[in-house]
Structures are given as structure tokens and as C-alpha cells.
Structure 1
Amino acid sequence: METAEHIKHLAREGQLLADAAEQAGSDAEVRSCPGWTVRDLLRHTGMVHRWATAFVADGHTSYRPGGGEPDLDGAALLDWYREGHDLLVAALSGAPDSLECWTFLPAPSPPAFWARRQAHETTVHRVDAESALGLVAGRSPVAPELAADGIDELLCGFHGRDKSRVRTDPPGALRVRTTDTDDVWTVTLSADAPRTTRTADGPAECELTGPAEALYLSLWNRLPAGTPAVTVTGDDRLARLWRETSAVTW
């Protein structure tokens, strides 16, 4: 996907998140993130948006920690979240292709990295916000191309790093195949960090198959185990291993 497309999705998903949060209220439980309320979700996502904006807007070339979560609630918290989201969209929309700043996953350019990363950060948390309304079948859809792109970022990006905790002995291969886009990934799992290829070459002990949106949310652990939208064939040990060890934390 192009950077402009990621920014477009970021803008839409951030607005949907705010709308769902406003409707649910600060005290509502976020069902997809046990232990969180909408208040926690807004504080976290708003902090991440401002953290990302600082790299893009100020061109920081080394890591800097986030500014922390605010002691805000209710309408003031929602306004703070919306303001931070708008600042991020504006910073990315105005960033030149030549911008140099710190990133943490491979990408064609820093603006491309931050647009992609924040589009998916916001999409996943928008799903969280809508879960606070009890929305499952009625939640806002994730476009297949965006979902497939997010699967790729998760498998090849986050879990292409040595810090991934998805490890197993004996080894095995987990295949992920979308049914509504032409995408397939093979994740080689072992005692070392996972290694993913964008192919269906070779055998796989376990395969996850389904629409890109269902796979995206399942791999991010936003859908419950056994969701009928995702078909698991072969050794479900690897599917359980993913669910138990793949969480990406701040």
C-alpha cells in the first residue's frame, strides 16, 4: 500500500475510534483487552499518536520515550485524543519523502513506516473501542487490502525481530492464507525468532485460512480462539503457540 492510502485509513480509523469511545463512555470495559476501560484505551492510543508525531514533525533520529499518559477523563480526554490524532494525520500528510527520523521496522522511508504503523495501531484499537459497545458482527469492517497489509507488518515486521517470543522446539511451519486477497505467508517457527516468507513453498504443519480481516484480527488476538471465520488445519499446537506468545506490548 502507498503512504497516502495508509494516511487515509489512519484518518478514518481514528475518527471511528473516537466516535465509538464517545458512545461507550470512559468507564466501559474494552472486551478485547481484558482489564482495560475506554479511558485506558484513549490514554494509551492518544499517547502513542503524540509519540509518533514527534518523530515525524521534529525529525528525531534516535529513540525517544513517549510523553506519558494524561490524567484526563470524560470529554476532556476525548478532546485530547482527537487533537492528537489530528496532529498525527497532519504531520504525516505534510512530511516530505526525504524526511529522516527514527523508525523500528524496515520500510521504504520513515514517513512510509510511520503512516503504516499508525494506521494499524489505530485500526486495531478502533476494533477495541467498538468492542466496548459490544460490537462483533456489527463492527466497522477492515478493508481486505488493509487487513492483508497489517498481517504482513505483523508477520514480517514485528515477528521478524529477534525480540519475538514466538518460539518452539520441536520446530514447525505455520501458513497463513487469505481467501479474499492473493496473499499467503509461511512462518517458520523454531527455538530461534520466527522467519516469514511471502510464499506457500514447502510443507506446513498448520494452516490458518480465512478472509483477510478475520485473519488480521485473529493474529492480533482480537477474535476469540476457534472463531468460525478462520479455518485451522493440521497441528493446532502452532496456532495455540501463536495465541499464547505473540502479543506485542508497548
Structure 2
Amino acid sequence: MLDLTTVIEAESRRFADAIAQAAPDAAVPTCPGWTADDLAWHLTEVHGFWARVLTSGAQTDEESEAVEAAGPTRPGSRAETMALFERATGQLLEALAGAEDATPAWFWLATDRTVGATRRMQAHEATMHRVDAEAAAGLDSAPVDPRLAADGIEHAFDVMWAWWGTQPGCSFAPGASRVELVAEDTGHGWLVETGRWQGVGQSGKAYDVPGARRVLAGTPAARVTGSAEALMRWLWGRGDEPAASGDAGALDPLRAARDQGMQ
């Protein structure tokens, strides 16, 4: 079983090493509009925020908003940013090391407000942003552990895209087709149904965006096959589409959901 806290530590170290090799204004191809220094500040903010969530004991939306408001302002130099990154990462790792996964803690997905949700999220966030930093620096991307990649596929559907379901008045409208993802190296398979997140929120804002979620049964109209890492990188917008077969039309909604991107 993977130690996700160790993953966060290792990937954060790789992230810092890659950032050091990228020009401050280098574009991040996988995060359009961001520079390498923007990326460095983003992960610094993320690590600091979740460290404060865990150490403060925040469990409600209001408490998390207060934690966010208490965050530092962006430093004026990369050196200052990376020094803050090191402190924030250390604080996050310390908070995670001292807590069990089942311990209650605020998380933006109301169905899993636990320390474990934060640990899992930050393992994937650190990994994907390490990939982003390598792209900005023009480096060959280091591999992702197949076990982490397989979990990252599930995380994409169950957490990242499930975010739409947290919006008031928004629900999932399934489409007619299902798609299977097959990881040849780990033996995992995931059956998903595509559709759209639709609804009108309390503010009157309408939602109608492509989405996908995992299901337990059904006959797939199409398949995407590759290594767990290749599938994960593709779903997270950090890699090309692996080999696809079957009904191309059935794959289009999944491609549309993927093309929305994940930060």
C-alpha cells in the first residue's frame, strides 16, 4: 500500500527541483496562462492552506473561508516564494503525519470531510504539479507509480469531476453510452457513464457542462486502453489520449469532460 504522505514529500521535492530549472516567466504548457513562478506560488498557497485547515481543526465551510483569508500574500521574488513553499510543505507533512485518515477535517467534497481526503488530494496535486513544473522547465517527465496512477483515475471521477455535484441545484444527467478504461499494467478496469452536470443554482446561474462518473455495471460502447499512468495523465490533461476503440461518438463526451481541465 502506498504511503501517500511520503508521496507528497517526494513529489514536492521533485517539484521544487523542476521549478529551479525553469525560467521565472517560462510558460506552463499544461496550465494555460500560467508561468513557472505562478505555478510555484499556486502550490505554495495550496500546501499552506491545507496545513492550516488541519492544524486549525476547521470542519465547516465558514471555518475554511477564515483559514483561506488568513493566508499570506504572494512574495515578490521566487526565492521568497520557494522559502515559503518549503515551510508550508513541512507544515502540511507534519500535520498529516500526526493524524489518522478517519479524523474529521474540512474538505470541499462534503461526502468525505476527513484527513484522508486531504492526504489523497494532495498526493495527486503534488504529482500533477510536479509534471507541470517539468513541462515548464523542458525536462523529461519522471514516471508516476502505477498504484498512484490507478488511484488518480478513480480520484478524477469520484472527487475532481464530482465537484459539480456540490453546486446548489446541479445534478448529473446520464447520457446513453458507457466507456471502459483499461489499465494494461495493473489489471484495473473502470466503467464510466458520460453525461452532463445540469441545473440552476440559488443565484440563478445555470450549469450545463460535460461530465462522467463511475458505474458498476453496463456494456461499454468504447474503450480507452493503456498503462495506468498514461490513462491518468490523459484524464488530468497532462498527456495524449491512449489507444481508443469502439464507438467514437461514445468517447466524445468523455473527451469533452477531460478537455475542461483540472488544476
Q: TM-score, normalised by structure 2?
A: 0.81
Instruction: Report if the CA contact (8 A) 1:47-1:69 is conserved.
Output: no
2:177 maps to a residue whose letter is G
Distance 1:78 1:6 in 2: 22
Q: Which residue does the alignment assign to 2:208? A: none
Match for 1:114 among 114, 118, 127? 118
Q: How far 1:188 moved relative to its partner?
A: 1.1
AA in 2 matched with 1:176: L
Choose which of 114, 129, 143 in structure 1 pairs with 2:133.
Answer: 129
**Is contact 1:166–1:242 with CA below 8 Å preserved after alignment?**
no
Q: Distance in 2 between matches of 1:148 and 1:48?
A: 23
Distance 1:127 1:44 in 2: 14
> In the alignment, which residue of structure 2 is the partner of 1:212?
228
Task: Tell me if 1:173 matches 2:183.
Answer: no
**1:185 aligns to what?**
190
Deviations 1:70-114 (A, max 9, x none): 14322111111122111111110112456322123445x712111
Residues 40-76 of structure 1: per-residue CA shift (max 9 Å, x gap): 1011111111111112111101122333751432211
CA distance 1:110–1:191, shift in 2 (3 Å): closer
Give CA deviations for 1:165-198 in whole Å, capped at 9, x if unaligned: 997885211211101112111111234563313x
Q: Quickly say closer, same or farther: Cα 1:75–1:117, change in 2 above 3 A.
A: same
Distance in 2 (alpha carbons) for counterparts of 1:232 and 1:97:
36
The answer for the alignment partner of 2:201 in structure 1 is: none
Partners of 1:166 and 1:212 lie apart in 2 by 29
**Which amino acid is 1:150 matched to?**
G
Give 3-state SS (helix, strand or coil) of 1:171's partner.
Answer: strand
Q: Give the alignment partner of residue 82 of structure 1, picking from 76, 81, 86.
A: 86
Moved over 6 A (4+): 164-169
**d(CA) in 1 for partners of 2:102, 2:89:** 23
Root mean square deviation of aligned Cα: 2.6
Please list the CA deviations of residues 187-220 of structure 1 after superposition, one character each: whole Å capped at 9, or x if unmatched.
11234563313x5x43212211100111101000
Task: Answer 1 or 2: which has greater strand percent.
Answer: 2
Q: Deviations 1:139-169 (Å, cap 9, x if unpaired)?
A: 1110000000111111122334525999788
Instruction: Show the counterpart of 2:246.
Output: 234
**Could you tell me which residue of structure 2 aligns to residue 147 of structure 1?**
149
Identity of aligned residues (%): 31
Counterpart CA distance in 2 for 1:239 and 1:83 is: 43
Instruction: Please state if 1:203 is matched with 2:219.
Output: yes
Cα pair 1:30 1:131 within 8 Å, conserved: yes
CA distance in 2, matches of 1:69, 1:209: 44
- The CA distance in 2 between the partners of 1:13 and 1:19, in whole Å, is 10
CA pair 98-119 structure 1, distance change in 2 beyond 3 A: closer
Between the two proteins, the alignment pairs up a number of residues equal to: 239
Q: Matched residues in 2 for 1:25 and 1:172: separation?
A: 45
In 1, distance between residues paired with 2:261 and 2:52? 22
Cross-structure match for 2:160: 158
**Cα distance between partner residues in 1 of 2:97 and 2:172:** 38
Q: Any idea what the Cα deviations from partners look like across 1:117-148, whole Å, max 9, x if unmatched?
A: 1000110000000001223xx31110000000
SS of equivalent residue, structure 1 residue 24: coil
Structure 2 gap ranges (5+): 198-210
CA distance in structure 1 between the aligned counterparts of 2:121 and 2:73, rounded to whole angstroms: 20
* Counterpart Cα distance in 2 of 1:168 and 1:238: 15
For the pair 1:37 / 2:53, whether they are aligned, the reply is no
